Amino acid sequence: MPKLWQKTEEYINALLPQSVLFINRLPLVRTPSLVGVCTDHFGECERWSAAGFPAALTDPASFPNAKNLDVCCVALRKGRDNQLADIAFGWNRLAAAGTLLICGYNDEGIRAIETVAKKQGIASRQVVSKGGGRTLEWKRQPTHDALIASWWEASQTPAIIQETVAGVSFSFASLPGTFAGGKLDDGTRALLQALPVKLREPILDFACGGGAVAAFVAARGQKNITMSDVSAQAIRSARLTAQLAQIAPPLLSDRYQHIKGKFGTILLNPPFHQGVATEYDTARTMILDGGRHLKGTGRMILVANLFLPYEALCREHNIGWRVLTEDSRFKVLELRYHQAEVEEPQEDGVETVPEELWAEYYRQAKLLEP
C-alpha cells in the first residue's frame, strides 16, 4: 500500500487539518496534527508505541479526548465486519462535516465499501487512485450517524455458539470479525476430534480466537487452560467464553511475547493469511518457538490445511512429529520438541495456571473493559 498510502497522506496534508486519527496503519510522515494511531493488533500497538507514536487498541476507551476530529483515515483490513466497525469507530470521532478517508485495494474490498455507501445513500467521492487501489472520502452527516453507529454496536454484540464434538457439548462466544465468523470452523472441529482424551497440563490455547478449543477442553474436565491471541476483538470474545467455561481470562500476546511459564500442551490452529495473501511467517514462528514454552515432554498439537508444508519445517529443524489424523482437507499433527525416552508421569492433581500470567491478565483486563 505504500504508494496509495503516500498519495493519501499528501491529500490529508493538503486539507490542513488540526487533528488526524489513523486506523490500522502508521502515517509515513509524523505531523503535529497527529492525534493517534489505532489498531486491533496488540503487537502493532506495542511496536508503534515503542517507536514513539501515540498508539492504542481500537476501542471506545482509547484516546478519550480525541473527539470532534478533522480527519480520520481508515486502512482496510480483512473482513467486512471489521471494515464496517473500523469505519464506525473513525466516523464517531469526527466533528460535524469532518472527513473520513477509507483507503484500500480492490482485493481488500474497497469496491464493496463503495457499494455499501451507494446503497445507504452516503456521499462517497474517490480522492486518490493508485496501483489498483483507491481512497474514498466521506463527510460526516448527522443523517447517517445512527446507521453507522449501528455498525459498531453490531461488532460488539456476541453470538453464543453451542456445539457438540466427539460427544462433548460446549459453548463459546463469537463477536463479528473474529475467526470463523460465528461458527465452529472445520479445521478446529478436526483438531477437537483428534485430541487425546487426556492432555498434559497446563494447556495453552494459542491464537485462541473466540476460545472454542479452550471451551471444549474445559467441558471435558480440564480447566487448567490459558487462552492467548493478538487481536483485541478475539480477546473480547474469549473473555466471554472464559466466563461461560469458568476458566482463566485470556491473555493478549503477539505470538509468545507475553506468554510466561511452561506448558504441557500447546493447542494451535495457526493463521496463514496476512490480509488476502498466504503468509507463513507467523505460523512458522509459532511452531519453531513452541519448544521454549513446553515442559520436557510437552507436545504441540496443531491443525493445518493439507497443503501446508509443516512436516518439512519440522524435519528441517529436528522437531519430532506424527500425524494424528488426516482427511481430504486437514491434517492434525503432534509435535515433540524434546526427545526424552521416558514420559513424565501425569500427576493426579490439577496444576495451577503459571503464576507469572496472573499479573499480566489483570494488567491487560484494564485495556479491554467492556
Query: Over the stretch 102-122, which tens digit does the pLDDT of each residue have?
Result: 999 999 999 999 999 999 999
The single residue listed with the C-alpha cell 464517531 is 92
> What is the C-alpha separation between 169 and 186, in angstroms, rounded?
16
pLDDT band at residue 351, thresholds of 50, 70 and 90?
A: very low
Give the number of other Cβ atoms within 10 Å of residue 61's Cβ: 12
Find the helix or strand (DSSP H, E) in which 238 lies.
helix 232-245
Cell of 70: 478533522
Of the candidates 357, 136, 325, 353, the one whose C-alpha atom is nearest the C-alpha of residue 252 is 357
Show the domains of the chain with their CATH numbers: 2-155 (3.40.50.150), 159-368 (3.40.50.150)
Give the mean model confidence (pLDDT) for residues 140-157: 95
- As a whole number of angstroms, the distance between CA 10 and CA 128 comes to 10
Rg of the chain's alpha carbons, rounded to an integer?
Answer: 22
Rounded to whole angstroms, how far apart are CA atoms 104 and 353?
42
Judged against a pLDDT cut of 50, whether residue 181 lies above it is answered with: yes
pLDDT (tens digit, 9 = 90+) per residue, 282-310? 888 999 999 999 998 899 999 999 988 89
Grid cell, residue 72, equals 480520520
pTM of the full structure: 0.86
State the SS3 of 67-99.
CCEEEEEEECCCCHHHHHHHHHHHHCCEEEEEE
Beta partners for 103?
75, 135
Residue 14 pLDDT level (bands cut at 50, 70, 90): very high
In three-state secondary structure terms, 305 is strand
How far is residue 193's CA from residue 197's CA, in Å, rounded to a whole number? Answer: 10
Grid look-up 504441557 returns 264
Dihedral of the alpha carbons of 47, 75, 211, 173, in degrees to the nearest 10: 140
